[in-house]
Amino acid sequence: MDSIDSLTEDLREPCCDEGIERCVRLVSIANLPTRFGDFRIASFWNNLDHKEHVAIVRGDVVNAERLLVRVHSECLTGDALGSLRCDCRDQLESALTQLGKCDNGVLLYLRHEGRGIGLVNKLRAYALQDSGMDTVDANLALGFRDDERDYRVAAQMLDVLKVRSIRLLTNNPNKVEQLKRYGTAVVERVSHQLPPNRHNVDYLRTKSTRSGHVMTGLPAVPSTEN
């Protein structure tokens, strides 16, 4: 199997412009030693959303089949600050732990803050949730869909890395369907459910009951009867 280093020749090519069909370009690769294991980190430029996304790469992934992959959306409050309102940091650390034990795998870290509505609007949605709304109704009240994320860039990042087929760590069937629609061969969905805490259990229930995420064993809603 080829190494990601075989892709470094692409770094010499100029970034594409709006008229080029392939809109995702690999622009840099570096070593990334972490507490979860040794990785390479690759950054990408694109002319779709003009955001900087990265792939955290374990081992040789070029031409890999049935590669374990996590497509993770950025969450400043969870990933960096340890917020208990969501399960984002738990999912990120669990994915990196699993990948660190594998011979090869990829975590795509996408700049999809707040399911694609951005940090400022996510915090506005938090305030609405504090007043009693769930995550879906809060997004709708702000004029957004439940989930504004698009995974075309992710599919093209995997294509640039020449990954042939993947096993996707996710509870979200929409993520699987979008990646398939954009040409990624997703051969298996691998459950990625983490234990809830008292601050995020309602959020997880909403993911399951209203956003279609495949989750089981969540605590029942407490009865309001006397």
Residue type, 175: K
Catalytic residue among 79, 87, 134, 147: 147
Residue 134 domain-assigned (yes or no): no
Catalytic residue among 17, 149, 152, 181: 149
Number of domains in the chain: 1
3-state secondary structure of 39: strand
Q: Kindly indicate the confidence band of residue 225, based on its pLDDT and cuts at 50, 70 and 90.
A: very low
pLDDT at 156: 95
Name the one residue in this structure whose structure tokens are 């459910």.
193
- The verdict on whether 147 is a catalytic residue reads yes
Asked if the model's pLDDT at residue 224 lies above 50, the reply is no
Residue 65 domain-assigned (yes or no): yes
3-state secondary structure of 89: helix
pLDDT for 96-117, tens place per residue?
A: 999 999 999 999 999 999 999 9
Residue 104 domain-assigned (yes or no): yes
Residue 25 domain-assigned (yes or no): yes
Q: Kindly indicate the confidence band of residue 7, based on its pLDDT and cuts at 50, 70 and 90.
A: confident
Asked if the model's pLDDT at residue 20 lies above 90, the reply is no
Residue 162 domain-assigned (yes or no): yes
Q: In this structure, what token pair is assigned to residue 54?
A: 């990265």
Name the one residue in this structure whose structure tokens are 């509505």.
117
* CATH number of residue 180's parent domain: 3.40.50.10990
Residue 128 domain-assigned (yes or no): no
Report which of 211, 178, 222, 174 is spatially closest to residue 87, judged by C-alpha positions: 211
Residue 217 domain-assigned (yes or no): no
Average pLDDT over residues 222-226: 47
- How far does CA 166 lie from the centroid of its chain? 14
Q: What is the span of the domain harbouring residue 177?
A: 4-112+149-209
CA angle, 157 then 147 then 73, to 5°: 40
Residue 132 domain-assigned (yes or no): no
% pLDDT > 90, the chain: 83
Cβ-contact 81, 22 below 8 angstroms: no
- The verdict on whether 111 is a catalytic residue reads no
Q: In this structure, what token pair is assigned to residue 64?
A: 């890999």
pLDDT at 183: 96
Average pLDDT over residues 150-154: 96
Average pLDDT over residues 160-165: 97
pLDDT at 6: 83
pLDDT for 62-109, tens place per residue?
A: 999 999 999 999 999 999 999 999 999 999 999 999 999 999 999 999
